[in-house]
Structure 1
Amino acid sequence: MTVDTRARPTRAASTGPPLRRLGFILVRRRRFVLTLALLGLVVAGVLAAGAVPRLSLARFEAPGSESDRAQAELAERFGTGSPDMIFLVTARSGTVDDPAVEAAGRELTARVGRQDDVAEAASYWSRGKPATMRSEDGRHALIVVRIPGDANHVRAQVLPRLVPEITRGTDLLQVRAGGGEEVFRETVPLARQDFVRAELVIFPLAFVLLWLYQRRAMAALVPILAGLFAMVLGLALLSAVLPFTEISTFALNLTLAMGLGLGIDYCLFVIQRFREETANGKDRAAAVAGAVEHAGRTVLFSGLTVATSLAVLFVLPFDFLRSFAYAGIAVVIGGLVAAVLVLPAVLASAGGTMVPKRERPERAAGFWHGLATRVMRRPLVFGGLATVLLLVLTSPFLGLRFGVADDRILPPEASSRQTQEVVRQSFPAEETDAIQLVSRDAATADVAPYATSLSRLPDVAQVDSAAGSFANGQRVGDGDPGRFQGEGTWLSVVPSAAALADDPVRLVEAVRTVEPPFEVLVGGYPAELSDYRAAVVDRLPLVLALMLGVTFVVLFLMTRSLIIPIKATVLNVLSLGVMFGAIVWIFQDGNLSGLLGFTPTGTLDPSIPILMLCVAYGLSMDYEVFLLSRIKEEYDRTGDTEEAVATGLQRGAPLITAAGGILALTFAAYATAQVTFVQMLGVGMAVAVLVDATVIRAVLVPSLMRLAGPLNWWPRGRVSTTAR
């Protein structure tokens, strides 16, 4: 039989479901659609290029928190605040107390203070030589600098000018830059380099893998082009949001990572269905319409699931995390446009180049059909073993410890990390990360007893106040009383280096448990981290509830079943558990740190795991939606659940495995990154996708659907037993 492969719409173009009619419209208007897509891509490219420089730098801070209000009080009433950066000053010979070195240090401090945009500059020499600002061997001293303004102003405008000017040093002094702002200033370009370098590897690798699976060059190239289209359109859509909100520069990294993966996934679904329709003897127009009707519906539900999973980040009051919601939703829209609107027009024009030259006959009972049948014969055995395996892989998650990110997210050769390593190893305390206690109405007589009590805390090196300096419950110096007086008073609780290296949040909690004799606000960098972490963790149950609830609704709308969404939710939670078990075992506990080249700190910052939670859940549902759509289609045709599962797995599993493998390799490429955050995202997502596309879909889905039997489709039940 000869099949007419020309894209000629028939009378069926005006009938059938809306997506089928859309498919025929795209066939009929294919030249117009492709021309519009090319013009749109050019415009989107211009908008995307303009959007990238407007992305913002972000800080880990909780607006409206106690620490936020403390910083406002310090700035308003005392004209001071937490230092934004440090300069580590090293005597080239002798110690920092030598007269010549001291004179040079004082002059350098004054020069820093005269720089534009620098509000305060103080040093070991200008503050009366406190022990907390001098290294134990006497070779190093600190200059602390406060630079008002948001992260964009400080990191993008001030530091690039200030750091080279000051770190030139002198014949007597070597000067290095460090501190939180300098650390994160170095992080952004390194992370961007990581993503660009990974993408350069991923694109040719993805093409090779796609060609091995599709066996046609055009069928391998088009999904990659769709991924690029999704990235560019996603960035262009972000440009429409930028006038109204700040979006973090790290959102660009998520756009690059998800754009290619989703573009490939969605296009593979549509191309595979087009091939099936063509193999069933349909002409090209009908095959395109059938692909849009079936695969397009699946892709739309999948995109809706991914987008809603990311949208729950909007409930978090942090621009940094909300940025990923905007970026994720934008790139999903880009992927949907590419797969559901542009790709059908491409198939209508050049679909013959994507169909195998030699069509291999489809076997009704191939490997995946046989595997599903064997699993469903002993669902408790196979399902039980798979569940035990996943729970074992999840078990490290029970040891999760939330902490805060520091300079060790950077590679050892990063200059700011090297500076912080000297401070961590050589200084008895962390003057730059002091906890600040601010009071409007403190009685002078109450300051000394309160400072004495605070200085007795195990992790406190020194407390500086208007009443003097205190350590271990004793007054150790006069300090600088004028520094702490104004409209009220404030105290500086300087933590030991060990306290910050371990868990600064625990120290903040200890400080807050000391009963103050007057009302105080607790601020400073450790308190900001504590409030940020508390706000994120406190909202985690809401994020989980919304994510599970919204995706449940989406799956219910697709399947009209209550049981299947519950099952899908349980399976995806297992997949997430394995991912979190992996990142705890690797990045918190330090296993594989030598291979991957990062420094473990014993804790995980909550921001990146929450992002991974939303992205991984959405992508897991991506494969769930595709497989369920094939199973449901077979069930609607035959009314036999077991046969529907086996046939659906036979038709869907090869594609899911291929797509999942490519997506996992896409993320795994980021394991070579220099920034630990990027490595964590890549490794964790790769693990989640691989587990989801193999053990979950191949074993647990058929075993649970076999155990549920007719309940799978409750309350809707069987819809039709008429073959289509």
Structure 2
Amino acid sequence: MFERIVNRAITSPKRILLAVTFLAVVCGLVGSTAVDHLLAGGQLSQNSESARANQLLSQHFSQQEMDLTLLVRAQAGIDDPTVARTGTQLVERIRSSAGVSSVLAPWTASRSMARSLISSDGKSALVVAAISGGEEWAPKNAKAIANRVEGTDDGLTVTAGGMAMVQSEIADQSQRDLLVMEVIAVPLSFLALVAIFGGIYAALLPLVVGGIAIAATLAELRLLTSVTDVSIYAMNVTTALALALGIDYTLLLLSRYREEARLCGDRNQALRRAVAKAGRTVLFSSVTVILALSALTLFPLYFLRSMAYAGIGVVAVAAVSTVVVAPALIALLGDRIETLDLYAPLRRRLKGKRDGAAIAVSADITQNFWYRTARRAMRNAVPALAGGAAVLFVLAAPVLGIRFGMPTERILPSSSTARQVAEAVQSEFRVNPSDVTSIVLSDAGSVGTPELSAYANQLSLVPGVQSVNAPDGAHQDGARVGAPSYVTGKKDAVVWLTVIRSPTIEAFSAPARNQLRALHAVPAPHPAVAQFTGQEQLSTDSNAAVLDKLPTVGALIALSTLLLLFLLTGSVIIPIKSLLLNLLALSAALGVVVWIFQEGHLGAFGTSPTGTLVLNMLVFVAVLTFGLSMDYEVFIVARIREQWLASPQTRADNAEAVARGIATSGRVVTAAAMLMCIVFAAMSSAQVAFVRMFAVCLVVAVAADALLIRMVLVPAFMGLAGRWNWWAPKPLAALHRRFGLAEESPHGLAAAPSSDRDESG
């Protein structure tokens, strides 16, 4: 397959490039409208208790799972007749807007309920509108309404907030962050590529591959929106991952091409060898990443499935472009690929054949920095393994205290109006709509007022409950205290109660979770069935939906990784080693994220720590990190195996193969990691906290993997294991000989090694 591809690239590069250009333009046109069809939701479970409760609230009480909370300020006071008249007109404008199911405001609510909607100083009020459309369309509906009513008019100043506006502002801010990231990442990546490759033409190759991957994936996402829901956050992943993998894969191919060109002196033959060897590695590596990302489609939340769609598209197109488009460009450029070479004067001065670029291979490989590093790690294998593992375990320790929550207004920058509204509500009002838990009793037609009152009294005794509102009134400390102070109702055998949480209990904290469990433990009046919803219940349900699938997803990723690495190496030891080291690196990266973004160290990298992390984003970044770690593992193990198969396969040969494999791939892996870190570090400019968390996690993971795992722990382990690295039971060895994906040596797979026959490396 590779031979046919490269021969066509050599003989007909212009045809290939014209065809690819045409396809890229078509994809660009199709994908240009993707952003208009992507949705801002995907983080709530649609098959859960909270979803069923929200459905009952929508059917019987015109309530929705998302609200638009308007903060209305009036210097004359909310009770001023003129302000009341203007406020009533505002309510009517909102009520007549598309997507509004109901409106709660102090000028139209009962007197007892109005007090909860007016600030302590009497100069501010809350207007809470239930917005239809679910998490998919409610943010857009809320934004349209906010655009109509925000501002100052006739003595009222209106500012928009609430859950729907928070989601809308997160989506909008993410798109602005994406543009900033591109402005930072592309120029910096290009400059770094010029420094690494030594030439401008060569540096453009990865950007071409990345650009094609972006165009094709955006077209894929646009087409997918016609058959399924796709999250808008997939856009951010598409751009960053396309640039990173375009650089990663093209760097591997071009470095191998230059190496082969120096060895054989014939550029066409060098291109054939490079595509045959590096192309195999690229495609194999891409399959490992795709299989890891495809496991995300098993989750019930379309946020995670969207990340899988984007990631799979990017990886597949980047890999295919690397083995099809990049060879055609190299063939078309010919010797010109080395023109505009910044290192040419230096090489002429040194009169050597050694490439001055950072990915060159030293004439004497034993003097190579990576060769010496690998040898040093093997000579001190036990201390290297113990020391490296200790560092990673220390970094991973904070993971033990990880806590999960939902995205709130605090992940937005302080300039966000939705965040400003939330902070004002928290400090100025008796009731914060975000702190309300709704309890919906179905089949409650035969339940009388005394039973409902007794149930509300029991709920009000739960620690941390400020009040419980039932149809018969407000309840505090086990007794009815007056008329309802917040929304409640009874209709068609369905009863709606609202529980106001004390402002001293922080959302998603351990006391909040304990309170929710205690509320659940209060028995509902027979024969009614209680279903809960609200911020805390939504978070609990969404996290449970992810955590329920996590063991299955993890097992599938682990099994596919073990199988693919076995097919590549023919060993059972190397896949297990790779899996364990990758998990260790991933744990270390997640530990750093918890330490910074949950616990607030290092100023939380300019964000406002909430004491929790968004589970959906953590799962995605964990899977992606694992896949990228396997990327580097394949790069290095493929070169080590290549050296091993060409040797007599003694223990000393194993050590030499490890050192030479790392020496020939270490420069590429380090350069690729540096460039990938540049791309992901550019994402840390994002103003949305969980996107910044995503960037920091990937930077830490990639850096630790490339510098500590691959350059220290891998050689230390493989040096210590000796020929056992390549061992497999006879049935599996036979299976690999038949179905293995790597080239075989005349020696075949290693037999079970003797313990001390060969000299140690």
User: The residue matched to 2:72 in structure 1 has which SS?
Assistant: strand
Structure 2 match to 1:664: 677
1:59 CA drift (Å): 4.4
Of residues 540, 561, 567 in structure 1, which corresponds to 2:571? 561
Structure 2 match to 1:41: 24
Structure 2 match to 1:520: 530
Alignment pair present for 1:605 and 2:607: no
After superposition, residues 613-652 of structure 1 pair within 5 angstroms as: 613-638=622-647, 639=649, 640-652=653-665
After superposition, residues 17-28 of structure 1 pair within 5 angstroms as: 18-28=1-11
State TM-score, norm by structure 1. Answer: 0.93
Structure 1 match to 2:755: none
Deviation by residue 1:616-654 (Cα, 9 ceiling, x = unmatched): 111111111000100010001112211110000110001
1:222 CA drift (Å): 1.1
Alignment pair present for 1:136 and 2:120: yes
Q: Point out the more displaced range, 181-190 or 18-27.
A: 18-27
1:30 CA drift (Å): 2.0
CA distance in 2: counterparts of 1:576 and 1:554, whole angstroms: 20
CA distance in 2: counterparts of 1:121 and 1:270, whole angstroms: 61
User: The residue matched to 1:182 in structure 2 has which SS?
Assistant: helix
1:474 CA drift (Å): 2.4
User: The residue matched to 1:86 in structure 2 has which SS?
Assistant: strand
User: The residue matched to 2:157 in structure 1 has which SS?
Assistant: strand
One-letter amino acid of the counterpart of residue 289, structure 2: V
For the Cα contact (< 8 Å) 1:234–1:332, is it kept in 2?
Answer: no
1:537 CA drift (Å): 2.1
Q: Point out the more displaced range, 713-722 or 244-253.
A: 713-722
User: The residue matched to 2:151 in structure 1 has which SS?
Assistant: coil
**Measured at CA, do residues 107 and 433 of structure 1 come closer, stay the same or move farther in structure 2, by a change above 3 Å?**
farther
One-letter amino acid of the counterpart of residue 161, structure 1: A
One-letter amino acid of the counterpart of residue 198, structure 2: R
For the Cα contact (< 8 Å) 2:43–2:302, is it kept in 1?
Answer: no
Q: Point out the more displaced range, 475-484 or 219-228.
A: 475-484
Deviation by residue 1:433-473 (Cα, 9 ceiling, x = unmatched): 52222223321221001111111222222211112111222
User: The residue matched to 1:55 in structure 2 has which SS?
Assistant: coil
- Give the unaligned 5+ runs of structure 1: 1-17
State the number of aligned residues.
703
One-letter amino acid of the counterpart of residue 490, structure 1: W
CA distance in 1: counterparts of 2:303 and 2:241, whole angstroms: 17
Deviation by residue 1:417-438 (Cα, 9 ceiling, x = unmatched): 1011101122233235522222
User: The residue matched to 1:672 in structure 2 has which SS?
Assistant: coil
For the Cα contact (< 8 Å) 1:24–1:288, is it kept in 2?
Answer: no
1:542 CA drift (Å): 2.0
For the Cα contact (< 8 Å) 2:68–2:142, is it kept in 1?
Answer: no
Alignment pair present for 1:496 and 2:502: yes
After superposition, residues 475-514 of structure 1 pair within 5 angstroms as: 475-479=480-484, 484-488=489-493, 489-501=495-507, 503=509, 504-514=512-522
Structure 2 match to 1:68: 51
User: The residue matched to 2:614 in structure 1 has which SS?
Assistant: coil
Structure 1 match to 2:705: 692
After superposition, residues 202-351 of structure 1 pair within 5 angstroms as: 202-351=185-334
User: The residue matched to 2:504 in structure 1 has which SS?
Assistant: helix
**Measured at CA, do residues 139 and 656 of structure 1 come closer, stay the same or move farther in structure 2, by a change above 3 Å?**
same
For the Cα contact (< 8 Å) 1:82–1:433, is it kept in 2?
Answer: no
One-letter amino acid of the counterpart of residue 405, structure 1: P
CA distance in 2: counterparts of 1:370 and 1:628, whole angstroms: 18
One-letter amino acid of the counterpart of residue 363, structure 2: E
**Measured at CA, do residues 110 and 315 of structure 1 come closer, stay the same or move farther in structure 2, by a change above 3 Å?**
same
Alignment pair present for 1:544 and 2:546: no
CA distance in 2: counterparts of 1:87 and 1:485, whole angstroms: 26
CA distance in 2: counterparts of 1:252 and 1:344, whole angstroms: 28
Structure 1 match to 2:583: 573
CA distance in 1: counterparts of 2:10 and 2:180, whole angstroms: 38
User: The residue matched to 1:492 in structure 2 has which SS?
Assistant: strand
For the Cα contact (< 8 Å) 2:39–2:137, is it kept in 1?
Answer: no
Structure 2 match to 1:121: 103
Alignment pair present for 1:108 and 2:90: yes
One-letter amino acid of the counterpart of residue 140, structure 1: S
Q: Point out the more displaced range, 237-246 or 564-573.
A: 237-246
Deviation by residue 1:548-601 (Cα, 9 ceiling, x = unmatched): 12122121111121111111111111110111011101100111226x321011
**Measured at CA, do residues 721 and 374 of structure 1 come closer, stay the same or move farther in structure 2, by a change above 3 Å?**
farther
Deviation by residue 1:251-298 (Cα, 9 ceiling, x = unmatched): 011000100000010001110111111011242221111111100000
CA distance in 1: counterparts of 2:456 and 2:505, whole angstroms: 18
Of residues 453, 461, 472 in structure 1, which corresponds to 2:458? 453
CA distance in 1: counterparts of 2:387 and 2:485, whole angstroms: 67
Structure 2 match to 1:3: none
Structure 2 match to 1:398: 400
For the Cα contact (< 8 Å) 1:176–1:419, is it kept in 2?
Answer: yes
CA distance in 1: counterparts of 2:176 and 2:726, whole angstroms: 49
Q: Point out the more displaced range, 165-174 or 262-271.
A: 165-174
Of residues 412, 415, 426 in structure 1, which corresponds to 2:414? 412
User: The residue matched to 1:132 in structure 2 has which SS?
Assistant: helix
1:233 CA drift (Å): 1.5
For the Cα contact (< 8 Å) 2:487–2:498, is it kept in 1?
Answer: no
**Measured at CA, do residues 67 and 453 of structure 1 come closer, stay the same or move farther in structure 2, by a change above 3 Å?**
same
- Give the unaligned 5+ runs of structure 2: 348-352, 355-361, 738-743, 749-761
One-letter amino acid of the counterpart of residue 692, structure 1: D
Task: Provide the alpha-carbon RMSD of the alignment.
Answer: 2.1
One-letter amino acid of the counterpart of residue 513, structure 1: A
**Measured at CA, do residues 590 and 544 of structure 1 come closer, stay the same or move farther in structure 2, by a change above 3 Å?**
same
User: The residue matched to 2:475 in structure 1 has which SS?
Assistant: strand
One-letter amino acid of the counterpart of residue 458, structure 1: P
Deviation by residue 1:684-717 (Cα, 9 ceiling, x = unmatched): 1111000001000110000111122111111149
**Measured at CA, do residues 297 and 82 of structure 1 come closer, stay the same or move farther in structure 2, by a change above 3 Å?**
closer
One-letter amino acid of the counterpart of residue 435, structure 1: T
1:92 CA drift (Å): 1.3
Deviation by residue 1:139-190 (Cα, 9 ceiling, x = unmatched): 322111012114443323x333311322234444322111011011111121
For the Cα contact (< 8 Å) 1:70–1:438, is it kept in 2?
Answer: yes
One-letter amino acid of the counterpart of residue 680, structure 1: M
Q: Point out the more displaced range, 129-138 or 606-615.
A: 129-138
Structure 1 match to 2:757: none
1:677 CA drift (Å): 1.5
For the Cα contact (< 8 Å) 1:314–1:325, is it kept in 2?
Answer: yes
Of residues 128, 131, 147 in structure 1, which corresponds to 2:131? 147
Deviation by residue 1:474-524 (Cα, 9 ceiling, x = unmatched): 212222899512112221112233335453544432321222223211123
One-letter amino acid of the counterpart of residue 499, structure 1: I
**Measured at CA, do residues 242 and 116 of structure 1 come closer, stay the same or move farther in structure 2, by a change above 3 Å?**
closer
1:23 CA drift (Å): 2.2
User: The residue matched to 2:125 in structure 1 has which SS?
Assistant: strand
Structure 2 match to 1:79: 62
1:414 CA drift (Å): 0.8
One-letter amino acid of the counterpart of residue 455, structure 1: S
User: The residue matched to 2:405 in structure 1 has which SS?
Assistant: coil
For the Cα contact (< 8 Å) 2:488–2:497, is it kept in 1?
Answer: no
Deviation by residue 1:306-352 (Cα, 9 ceiling, x = unmatched): 11111111110011110000000001111012101111111112142
User: The residue matched to 2:100 in structure 1 has which SS?
Assistant: coil
Deviation by residue 1:95-144 (Cα, 9 ceiling, x = unmatched): x3455544443443333223333220012343324343333333322111
For the Cα contact (< 8 Å) 2:508–2:536, is it kept in 1?
Answer: no
CA distance in 2: counterparts of 1:519 and 1:494, whole angstroms: 20
One-letter amino acid of the counterpart of residue 455, structure 2: Y
**Measured at CA, do residues 705 and 610 of structure 1 come closer, stay the same or move farther in structure 2, by a change above 3 Å?**
same
**Measured at CA, do residues 584 and 81 of structure 1 come closer, stay the same or move farther in structure 2, by a change above 3 Å?**
same
One-letter amino acid of the counterpart of residue 291, structure 1: A
Deviation by residue 1:41-82 (Cα, 9 ceiling, x = unmatched): 111211221333222221431112111111112222333344
After superposition, residues 347-362 of structure 1 pair within 5 angstroms as: 347-355=330-338, 357=344, 358=347, 359-360=353-354, 362=363
One-letter amino acid of the counterpart of residue 112, structure 1: I
For the Cα contact (< 8 Å) 1:83–1:432, is it kept in 2?
Answer: no
CA distance in 2: counterparts of 1:646 and 1:228, whole angstroms: 35
User: The residue matched to 1:85 in structure 2 has which SS?
Assistant: strand
